[in-house]
Amino acid sequence: MGFARAQSILRARWSLPSAQTVVGGAVAAVAAVLVLYPIYFLFQAALNVGDPEAKPPTDYGFDNFAGLARYSEILLNTVGVSLAATVLALLFGFVTAWILSRTNVPGRHVLEQLMAIPYYVTPLLGAFAWSLLGAPESGFVNQVWRALGGDGYLIDIATPWGIAWVMALFEGSVAFVMIGAVMKSMDPALEEASQIIGAGRLRTMLRITLPLVAPGVLGAAIFVFAEMLGSFSAALVLGLPSRFYVVTTAMYQLVSQYPPRIPLAAAMGVSLFAVMFAMLFVYRRIVTRRSYVTITGKAFRPRVILRFVLLAVCILYIGLSVALPLLTLAYASVQKIAVAFPAAANWTLDNYRTATTMNAVRSALANSLVLGFATASIGVVLMGLLSWIIYRSRVPGSGIIEYIVMFPQAVPRLVFAFGMMWAWLIFPIPIYGTLWLLLIAYLTVFLPLGIRTISGVMLQVDRSLEESAQMCGAPWAYRIRTVTMPLLRPGLMAAWLLLFIASVRELGASILLMGPNAKVITPAIVESWFASSAELTAAMALIQTLVVALAMTLFVVLTRRATQLAHE
């Protein structure tokens, strides 16, 4: 009796689950524990109306939510800034993704690498640099303006529009990566066919290109909007000086003070669930309504159009988001007190000397690189499997799984981290205060990011390709390895890089969870900004940026080499 026949008899008699159900179930269970375990503590805190110090709570109710009415201005600030920043970010991301994947703009490959830099430079550094540039009194731009005879100030970055601008500059690269992965796989023949029958370029863009990349654009829109809702660093640097609060900065103040107002902070965070649920519902309705298949085995041929104008657009975006902030930080880091026109006595290297004595440089760098590698590597596998479960499998409850894994996106990481802090503090295995806890935190909070990136590409892979392999007798695992994975490779590589960068730049979760021997970069820079001079913080930030840049360059070189070897 053959093995296959024996297997089918066993299944018939005892209804054994298939391999995909077992693996799918296990992965879904891991994701559910990662997300729901801290969420439980978060809700517990939000519903706690008794003594805040009593654990477990003695009294539950909705008074904390009723108290949110007092903070309506903060909630409106949050939504307003998030919307403005999302629109700007999508504009930057879509335009640059279209230029770099649908045209033969010169230096495309170099520009693609440069486009990732705004994301890893982090909104914190961007906000910091732009505050040095655009503060109404001390900003370099305004100092130059006054030196040229201008009155008052030319720009004021410490405003809601300033926050939206900075967030959009850096989240634009997230939108670029997500939309770009989708656009790369599109066959231009579809657009050319549109033009042949008489449609102009704009009409083709709107009627052909845009609808086909809709999953990627929608995914980017939802993700970017949720990121903006949870925005912390830009609002902290640019909003606090003008007493402009968003939910996250208000929560940080409430959690940090003594005694802390945890229930109110938790209620603020939980209130954002409703917004994300609505967004996710809309997204699923759109995605499941039509097919977005474009990967059919045909070659990719970019189009020739206004190459050097488009090159200038890309360079402008990279200049504003990367070059200008980094140059500003470098300029400030070598001064005692950063001004636009420093006297000779103002130059110094003391900031770099001091920076090397600090935890943030000594240990945080190494920790962040190790964590980044681990998060990205484990994350791609975990999130790839989850994407497959949600969008491709017939595992029962895949819709519920999607909502669960999107929970972290709905909650500002600071508050999610609070739930995690309590959840893992009482866990019998002592991982609190270690890098292990940060790894768990990162894998949890980045679930939406990874799944959105990978699923955006996965939706474009026609099921018929996998089904063909299945009809030829290939088992599930073999199909995944030989058919699905190669087709998803661009998306998986984009996801790996995105997860690595997200891990290195992570702030909201880390700032509450890092211990004395588990410091990581970005929260260490925030601590420095709070508690050191702008110039010292600039020096620290540049040292860290340089080291991470080297690590990323190494990754790109190695993956390119591996790809070349695979083709040989």
Partner 1 sequence: MSEIRKAGATRRAVLKAGAAFAAMPLAGKAFAQPAKAPTKVLDFHTNADMAKVEQEGQLIFYCHENEAGTAAIMEGFGKDFPKIKTGYVRAQTGALYNKIVSERAAGRFDVDVIQLSDLAPAFDFQKKGGYEVYASPEAGGYAPEHLSDPAGAFFWTGVSFAGIAYSKAKVKPEEAPKTWTDLLDPRWRNAMSCKIPSSGIQFVQWYMFRKLYGPDYWKEFAKQRPRAFDSRVQLFDRLAKGDDKVCAIAEYAAYVLYKEKGAEVAFVAPADGLPATPLLVGMVSRAPHPEAAKLFVDWAMSARGQAFYQDNPNLVYGSLRKDAAPMRTGERLRDFKLLSPADYADYTASRDLFTKEWNAMLGL
Residues in contact with partner 1 by CB under 8 A are: 55, 135-138, 240-243, 245, 250, 253-260, 336-339, 345-346, 354, 357-360, 363, 421-422, 425-426, 430, 432-433, 515-517, 527-534, 536
Biggest distance spanned by C-alpha atoms of the chain: 93
Output the smallest distance, CB 274 to partner 1, in A.
23
Output the smallest distance, CB 432 to partner 1, in A.
6
Residue 204 or residue 242: which is nearer to partner 1 going by CB? 242
What is the H or E stretch that residue 5 is in?
helix 3-14
- Nearest 10 degrees: Cα torsion 137, 140, 143, 144: -160
Output the smallest distance, CB 372 to partner 1, in A.
21
Output the smallest distance, CB 411 to partner 1, in A.
19
Question: Residue 295's beta-bridge partner residues?
Answer: 461
DSSP-derived secondary structure letter, 58: S
In angstroms, the CA 222 to CA 209 distance is: 19
Output the smallest distance, CB 460 to partner 1, in A.
46
Residue 21 or residue 434: which is nearer to partner 1 going by CB? 434
Residue 251 or residue 502: which is nearer to partner 1 going by CB? 251
Alpha-helix runs per DSSP H in 413-509: 413-425, 435-445, 447-458, 463-471, 476-479, 485-505
Output the smallest distance, CB 284 to partner 1, in A.
37
Residue 124 or residue 221: which is nearer to partner 1 going by CB? 124
Residue 32 or residue 425: which is nearer to partner 1 going by CB? 425
Question: What is the three-class DSSP state of 154?
Answer: coil
Question: Residue 60's beta-bridge partner residues?
Answer: 48
152 contact partners, CB below 8 Å, separation of at least 6 = 136
What is the number of other CB atoms lying within 10 angstroms of the CB of residue 222? Answer: 20
Buried b (16+ CB within 10 A) or exposed e, 9-30: eeeeeeeeeeebbebbbebbee
Output the smallest distance, CB 292 to partner 1, in A.
45
Closest C-alpha among 315, 355, 323, 352 to residue 335: 352
In angstroms, the CA 247 to CA 236 distance is: 11
End-to-end CA separation in angstroms for the chain: 42
Output the smallest distance, CB 32 to partner 1, in A.
23
Output the smallest distance, CB 359 to partner 1, in A.
6
Output the smallest distance, CB 462 to partner 1, in A.
51
Residue 227 or residue 535: which is nearer to partner 1 going by CB? 535
Residue 28 or residue 507: which is nearer to partner 1 going by CB? 507
Closest C-alpha among 93, 80, 341, 123 to residue 216: 93
Q: 379 near 230, Cβ under 8 Å?
A: no
Residue 426 or residue 566: which is nearer to partner 1 going by CB? 426
Q: 130 near 238, Cβ under 8 Å?
A: yes
Q: 3-state SS of 268-304?
A: HHHHHHHHHHHHHHHHHHHHHHCCCCCECCCCCCCEC
Q: 459 near 215, Cβ under 8 Å?
A: yes
- Read off the tokens for 404: 């669960």
Residue 74 or residue 208: which is nearer to partner 1 going by CB? 74
In angstroms, the CA 548 to CA 505 distance is: 10
Buried b (16+ CB within 10 A) or exposed e, 365-379: bebbbebbbbbbeeb
Residue 94 or residue 245: which is nearer to partner 1 going by CB? 245
Output the smallest distance, CB 363 to partner 1, in A.
8
Residue 427 or residue 478: which is nearer to partner 1 going by CB? 427
Residue 137 or residue 467: which is nearer to partner 1 going by CB? 137
Q: 3-state SS of 304-315?
A: CCCHHHHHHHHH
- Read off the tokens for 529: 């900004």
Residue 175 or residue 250: which is nearer to partner 1 going by CB? 250
Question: Residue 335's beta-bridge partner residues?
Answer: 347
- Read off the tokens for 122: 């982090």
Output the smallest distance, CB 336 to partner 1, in A.
5
